[in-house]
Structure 1
Amino acid sequence: MYTHEKQFIQAGKLAAHAKKAVILLHGRGSTAQSILSLQRHLQLEDVLLLAPQANNNSWYPYTFLAPVPNNQPALDSALELVDAAVSEAIKQGVPAAQIYFVGFSQGACLTLEYVARHAKRYGGVVAFTGGLIGAELDTANYQGDFAGTRILITAGDYDPHVPLQRIEGSAVILREMGADVKVEIYPDKPHSISADETLLANEFIFG
């Protein structure tokens, strides 16, 4: 049962001219179009951009800290939509090692959950304010080897939606799966994406 239609905006370079693909996942209450505005701040030249759109602008109904069954079937449907975007990039000739992920807030949580369930060598992963999903983290859900993939997780020190403890716990699991994880926590940062965060993403992931 799907709760999300298989729809995403394609932008940036045509696949024939793209060296990389970036999958961008918007936050709750936002849109694929709005997350695409990050292309003005990230180094995304010669890149195929794919931005899936959540039904009703929300990937799953409750907080990402709720028990996973509470967010079903929306969560599984959202993960399938991300997988469809990955498949589209590969179909257009971009190998997994050149596929990047960028998500904010609810989209950042979905980003980390997807890559942890499908770990392999990706181009890189950026989670602007996010962590792995569930009341408890069940490592049985996660499989594969990141083979050194760089993952950047950023957040404010007292974010109202994403507690620091979950970010740190997520980083431990991702490192155990072979990722090169960088966590950057900013004092008093509001629940948004700052210029400092995009600069760091350019340095650590896209540089």
Structure 2
Amino acid sequence: MSTQRRDGLPVTQWGVDAGDAALAVLAVHGRAQGPSFLRETARRFGAAPVRFYAPEAEGNTWYPRPFLEPLASNQPDLDESLATVDGYLAALAGAGFPPERVVPWGFSQGACLLAHHVLTAPRRFAGLVLCTGGHVGPDPLPPPAGTPLRGVPAVVRSVEDDPWVPSHRVRETAELLRRAGADVDLRIDPGTEHVITDEACAAATRLLVATAARAGPR
């Protein structure tokens, strides 16, 4: 569903040179957005030794219906988009960034897609940043078996009265991540706007810097 280069990596990239990056950030945009939105948002991050890779959904949407509707209403697009994430993770691994050196970051529909991916096909990423999103579907997901995300730092951010993503789903998703072993930093601020706050950007930067330091040079 997404445009990609012959090497399988997203066309839109930014950050430090790939050869100098300790981590890759897979940046997944929201509905009616594109990679440029996350690139502009990343300007609000502090310096970190990472390279960003941002795929673009066909028609700027990863699935057609609201994320709390029955899963069938978003098929086959949802499964295709989850497979797209898998494809990019495989391409990043081929470029020297295995999952333990990748931080998925998403906003809104992109955060929902990533949350669903991480909870249904868990792997030990370097970290996870979910800004205003939760897993897809009307009902809570069963937690992954065991603790496949043990030690994975996860920043989860939203606002209490977001018009598109109810805070209860954000909290449910954070709890599922915790039960899977992730080290979750959850914060839901008062508000009604569908935005990535300055505090969320600062928290993402702290995660990237700390995780890059632990990972060390490639």
Q: TM-score, normalised by structure 2?
A: 0.86
C-alpha separation between the residues in 2 aligned to 1:94 and 1:44? 19
C-alpha separation between the residues in 2 aligned to 1:46 and 1:166? 32
From 125, 131, 135, give the equivalent of 2:134: 131
* Paired residue secondary structure (1:148): coil
Give the gaps of 5 or more residues in structure 2: 5-9, 211-218
* Paired residue secondary structure (1:139): coil
Aligned partner of 1:121 in structure 2 is 124
Q: Is the 8 A contact 2:89 2:98 kept in 1?
A: no
From 1, 5, 20, give the equivalent of 2:2: 5
Aligned partner of 1:173 in structure 2 is 176
Cα displacement (A) at 1:129: 0.3
Q: Is the 8 A contact 1:23 1:49 kept in 2?
A: yes
* Paired residue secondary structure (1:93): coil
* Paired residue secondary structure (2:165): coil
CA RMSD of aligned residues (A): 1.8
Aligned partner of 2:80 in structure 1 is 77
- The alignment-based identity, stated in percent, is 33
Is residue 187 from structure 1 mapped to residue 194 from structure 2 by the alignment? no
- The range that moved more, 43-52 or 84-93, is 43-52
Superposed, 1:1-207 pairs within 5 Å as: 4-7=1-4, 8=10, 9-43=12-46, 45-139=48-142, 142=144, 145-207=148-210
Cα displacement (A) at 1:134: 0.5
Cα displacement (A) at 1:189: 4.6
Q: Is the 8 A contact 1:148 1:180 kept in 2?
A: yes
C-alpha separation between the residues in 2 aligned to 1:101 and 1:119? 12
Distance 1:156 1:25, change over 3 A: same
Q: Is the 8 A contact 2:13 2:51 kept in 1?
A: yes
Distance 1:201 1:46, change over 3 A: closer
* Paired residue secondary structure (2:73): helix
C-alpha separation between the residues in 2 aligned to 1:75 and 1:43? 33
Give the gaps of 5 or more residues in structure 1: none
Any idea what the Cα deviations from partners look like across 1:23-77, whole Å, max 9, x if unmatched?
0010100001221223312245432221110111111111110111110011111
Q: Is the 8 A contact 1:125 1:205 kept in 2?
A: no
Q: TM-score, normalised by structure 1?
A: 0.90
Cα displacement (A) at 1:107: 0.6
Q: Is the 8 A contact 2:23 2:49 kept in 1?
A: yes
Cα displacement (A) at 1:194: 1.5
Any idea what the Cα deviations from partners look like across 1:133-180, whole Å, max 9, x if unmatched?
11112327x467012101111111111111111111111211111111
Any idea what the Cα deviations from partners look like across 1:95-123, whole Å, max 9, x if unmatched?
21110011100111111111122322211
